[in-house]
Amino acid sequence: MRSTVEVSVAAVIEAEPKAVYERVADVASMGRWSPECVRTAAGVGPAPVGAEFKGTNKGPSGRSWSTRCRVMVARSGERFTFRVRFWGMPVATWDYRFRPVGDGTATEVTETAVDQRNRLLWFLGSAVSGVWDRSAHNAETMRETLERLRETLEAERRAG
C-alpha cells in the first residue's frame, strides 16, 4: 500500500467566501475550472453532504477515465470536501477551504488533494492518464483551476 500524498495550493480571489464556495460546490461546473476534469454528472447548484456524482477526466495521454465521488463536507463559505473512488477503491480526497481576507470582500481559497491510491490504482492511473508524478501535476492543475475561478469571479464583480 502506498502512503498518502497531500498537495495544497492557495489563491486570493476578490469575491466573498460564499460566492467562491457556491462556484466550487457546484460540481456540475467543475469542468469549467479544472484543466483535467472535463465534465461531471451532477445536479445543478452547490452539492450537499452525501451527494454523489460521476467525474470524467482527461490527462496528458489523451485518454479519459471516470470516477465516483461523494460529498463529505459542505459548509457554505467555509469548506467543501469530496472523496473520489474508482472500482470502489479510494483514489483521493479533494478539499477546498474558504477564508475571508481583509474586510471579507476577498477570499483566500485553499485547494488540497490527498492521493490515497494503492499500488494497483497508482500504476493503472499513471498508465491511463500519462501522469507519473501526480503531486507535481496536481499542483500545476490546481493553480490553473484557482486562476480560472479567480478570473471568472473577478470579471463578474467588475461587470457589476
Ordered by where they begin, the domains of the chain are 5-159 (3.30.530.20)
pLDDT band at 44 (very low <50, low <70, confident <90, very high): confident
pTM given for the model: 0.94
- Judged by DSSP in three states, 75 sits in strand
**Whole-number percent of the chain with pLDDT over 90:** 92
Query: In this predicted model, what pLDDT tens digit does every residue of 124-159 receive, in sequence order?
Result: 999 999 999 999 999 999 999 999 999 999 999 889
Tell me the average pLDDT across 57-75: 96
φ, ψ (nearest 5 deg) of residue 141: -70, -30
What is the identity of the amino acid at 124? L
113 bridge partner residues:
7, 94
Query: In this predicted model, what pLDDT tens digit does every residue of 1-22 receive, in sequence order?
Result: 455 699 999 999 999 999 999 9
Q: pLDDT at position 24, please?
A: 97
Query: Would you say residue 48 has pLDDT above 80?
Result: yes
| Whole-Å CA distances, 23 to 12, 109, 136 | 15, 12, 25
